[in-house]
Structure formats: C-alpha cells, structure tokens
Amino acid sequence: MIILDSTLREGEQTKGVSFSIEQKIAFAKLIDDFGVEMLEVGHPNVSPQIHEAVKAIAKEDLNAEVVAHVRAVKSDIDNALACDVDRIVIFLPTSDVHLEKKLGKNRQQVLDMITQAVEYTRDHGVNVRYTPEDATRTDIGFLVEVARQATECGADRVSIADTVGIATPALMENIVRTVSDSVNVELDVHCHNDLGLALANALAGINAGATCVHTTVNGLGERCGIVDLAPLVMSTKVHGYSTSGYKLDMLPEIYEFIESATNIPIGYNSPVIGRNAFAHKSGVHTDGVLKSPDTYEPYNPKIIGREREIVIDRYTGRLAVKKRLESLGYSISNETLMSIVNEVKIFSDANGGVSDDSLVQITGQILTQERS
Ligand code: HCA
Ligand code: CU
C-alpha cells in the first residue's frame, strides 16, 4: 500500500482554508520527509497563486511523486504541464446524476473526453491517473468501461472516488474487486467522510486490491473531508501492513503544522493525534495500564512520539494516585492512600476534577491529620 497525501489539494477545498505558497512548500517538504509516496499539490487552473505553488513544489526535488489535479479540459492540462509535475490527474464524473444534471453529456461523450484528455497528457510524457468522479454511484459496467478506456489510452492509475461519501466497506470492496478483476491498472481509493466511513471504506478498498489511499492531515477536505492520515497509517500498522517507510514520530509535528496553518483545531478525541488519545481515566483502566499498558492501548504511544497520560479525578483508583504521588515525590502507605483516594473523590465531586496542586494539598492535609 502507498499513500497519496492531498492536504494541499483536497485539504485546501476545506471551508476557510487557504495556504500561502511558503506554507505549501514547507508542508510539502515535511510530508515528503515523513515518507508519503505521492503528493497531490493542487489544481493549477484554480488561481495564479495555486499555479505558482504547484510549480514551486515540483521544483523541490522531493522523493514523492508530485501530482497536479485537472479537469478533462485542454487548457487545464496545459496549465498543469507548464508546472512540470510528475503526474497529472484528470477527473471527470461518470455517474448518471453527474452526467445528466451537471455535465449535460452522455456516456459516449464522456468516454471521448477521457480518451482525448488522457492521450493528450500521455503524449507529453507525464504519468496519468484518471479519476471517475462519483465512481461509487456509477453503473459498475460503465465504471469498468471508463477504467479500461483510460488504461488503454495510457493511464497507469485509476482512482475509485467515493465523492459524496456514501459507500460502505462492502460496496467499496465489491467495486474495487470488480474493476481490478477486469482491468489491468493500479487502483487508488479516494474516500470522503460524510457518513464517518472513509477510513473503513479505504481499508476495504485496500483489502480488495487497491494499492493507494488518499489522505489529508486532520481529515481536511470538501464538507466532512477524506481519510485522515494518522489513523490510516496506524490502523494499517496495527493490522500488519508495513509502515517502515514512514517516520511515524513526525506525525505530531505534521499535525501541529496544519493545525496552525488552518486554524482548525485537532479534535480532543481524534484518533491517534487527539490530546485524549492516550489519556486513561477510570480506576479499572488506569489499574490495567499501570500494570501493563497493552491492557488498554492498541499500540505504544511512543511509536508516534507521544506519552500516555493517567487522569486523576473521581474515577481514579488507588494505583493511579499512588503512582502520581510517587512522581510528585511522595511515598505513601496503603492506609493513607485509601484516605487520599476517598478525599480525591469527594473533592472531585465538588470541583469537577483534581489538579496536581490540589492532590498535593489533599495529601498534605491527610498526612497532618494522621500525625495529630
Ligand atoms: C472533487 C474531485 C475529487 C477527486 C478525487 C480523485 C472527488 O470532487 O473535488 O481524484 O481521486 O472527490 O471526486 O476530490
Ligand atoms: Cu474528493
């Protein structure tokens, strides 16, 4: 499996997000260093500045293949060719709803447009991916036909785009399997998250033979965005795929960069990267984690450069309080510990939590009481 990061293209289609050229170059270097294999950096026809940014990133001599996204229109393709990218993606919808209500074209006209656009681009010696936009709502027979046509014209990749995020894992698996059984081409999966199924759909696509997943940092993208990079990488790692090509401990830095460049906060409970991702709270959980972290952790947070956290409040059990007090320099007997835990619960009922300062105060009071 390889990863195409589209933070700079799909991600910039997020409401309120506009990266500067400098931010784009800095991000491209960062994510290239992380190790993604492809980097979709923009749609050069959208604006002069986007054109400049695509061109500037193409000059950076990155390890990743640099990809530009265009409509099946000659002027768009020329604009992308002028940026000197490694690969051009031509997207053109194939579902009946898009053909009838958006394009006003029939299937034969779409096939002709694909032929022209792919051949024209290939003639300039650039790698080509073709994306049937709204693939998951496309008649499967026609989807196979467009994939075959694009491949015969020289595209070496076709993207199965779940443009409106309506697929299920079963549907995605079925589509990917059918296309890959019928056409000799590498398949990408591009999964939108409108129903919260993007990651599950992408994994189903990989399972069925797709070889590339599209991601963005923090799951950015149109509407509810697409597959979030960090959980994609970690779920594939946990389930036995090789992630040795990725510098996993760079993830926090990459996410902080995008959080500050977009002003879109990382969710507290976002998988992998959220501040609560390794925060253990209830007495039962903290007891388990402190005895052996794998009782309640899917993987060691150190893999991605993070630390686990033990929350102290009314849910907390004895072991967690004991360890926290030890880290604060106290060595406490078991009877005293029981009194402190009881007091922590009462304090937390009244105050909604217990800071380290309050814990120290409570401990001090109980030790004084015991001495007197
Ligand atoms: C869009 C296009 C796209 C393309 C995906 C791809 C989609 O609608 O803006 O090239 O794989 O979701 O269909 O992002
Ligand atoms: Cu998309």
To test the pocket of ligand 1, the residue of 5, 98, 190, 212 to mutate (highest count of ligand atoms within 8 Å of its CB) is: 190
* pLDDT tens digits along 116-147: 999 999 999 999 999 999 999 999 999 999 99
The verdict on the CB of residue 163 being under 6 Å from ligand 1 is yes
pLDDT at 115 over 90: yes
Q: What is the mean pLDDT of residues 69-74?
A: 98
Distance, CA 219 to ligand 2 centroid (Å)? Answer: 11
Query: Quick one: three-class SS letters along 284-298?
Result: HHHHHHHHCHHHCCC
The verdict on the CB of residue 161 being under 6 Å from ligand 1 is yes
pLDDT at 10 over 90: yes
* pLDDT tens digits along 275-295: 999 999 999 999 999 999 999
pLDDT at 372 over 90: no
275 burial level (CB within 10 Å; 0-12, 13-18, 19+)? middle
Q: Which atom of ligand 1 is nearest to the CA of 135?
A: 13
pLDDT at 229: 98
DSSP state of 267: P
Q: Which pLDDT band, with edges at 50, 70 and 90, does 348 fall under?
A: very high
Judge whether 46 and 67 are in contact, CB under 8 Å: no
Q: What is the mean pLDDT of residues 42-69?
A: 98
Distance, CA 85 to ligand 1 centroid (Å)? Answer: 18
Q: Which pLDDT band, with edges at 50, 70 and 90, does 328 fall under?
A: very high
Tokens of 314: 């009314």
pLDDT at 28: 98
Q: Which pLDDT band, with edges at 50, 70 and 90, does 263 fall under?
A: very high
pLDDT at 60 over 90: yes
Report the C-alpha gap between 246 and 29 in whole angstroms.
14
Judge whether 365 and 340 are in contact, CB under 8 Å: no
Give the DSSP per-residue string, 219-241: G-SSTT-B-BHHHHHHHHHHTT-
Q: Which pLDDT band, with edges at 50, 70 and 90, does 73 fall under?
A: very high
Tokens of 239: 């389930």
Domains, the chain, ordered by start? 2-262 (3.20.20.70), 279-371 (1.10.238)
* pLDDT tens digits along 207-248: 999 999 999 999 999 999 999 999 999 999 999 999 999 999
User: SS3 for 270?
Assistant: coil
CB atoms within 10 A of CB 245: 12
Please report the sign of the dihedral spanned by the C-alpha atoms of residue 82, residue 98, residue 197, residue 2.
negative
The verdict on the CB of residue 89 being under 6 Å from ligand 1 is yes
Query: Cα angle vertex 16, ends 263, 11, to 5°?
Result: 85
- pLDDT over 70 percentage in the chain: 100
Residue 127 CA to its chain's centroid (Å): 24
pLDDT at 128: 98
The verdict on the CB of residue 10 being under 6 Å from ligand 1 is yes
- pLDDT over 90 percentage in the chain: 99
The rounded mean pLDDT for the chain is: 97
Give the DSSP per-residue string, 129-171: EEEEETGGGS-HHHHHHHHHHHHHTT-SEEEEEETTS---HHH
Structure pTM?
A: 0.96
* pLDDT tens digits along 81-103: 999 999 999 999 999 999 999 99
The CA distances from residue 316 to 301, 336, 354, in Å, are: 21, 16, 10
To test the pocket of ligand 1, the residue of 6, 10, 118 to mutate (highest count of ligand atoms within 8 Å of its CB) is: 10
Please report the sign of the dihedral spanned by the C-alpha atoms of residue 53, residue 59, residue 61, residue 66.
positive
Judge whether 304 and 339 are in contact, CB under 8 Å: no
Distance, CA 99 to ligand 1 centroid (Å)? Answer: 15
Tokens of 86: 């490694």
Q: Which atom of ligand 1 is nearest to the CA of 134?
A: 13
Q: What is the mean pLDDT of residues 325-345?
A: 96
Judge whether 209 and 184 are in contact, CB under 8 Å: no
Q: What is the mean pLDDT of residues 245-266?
A: 98
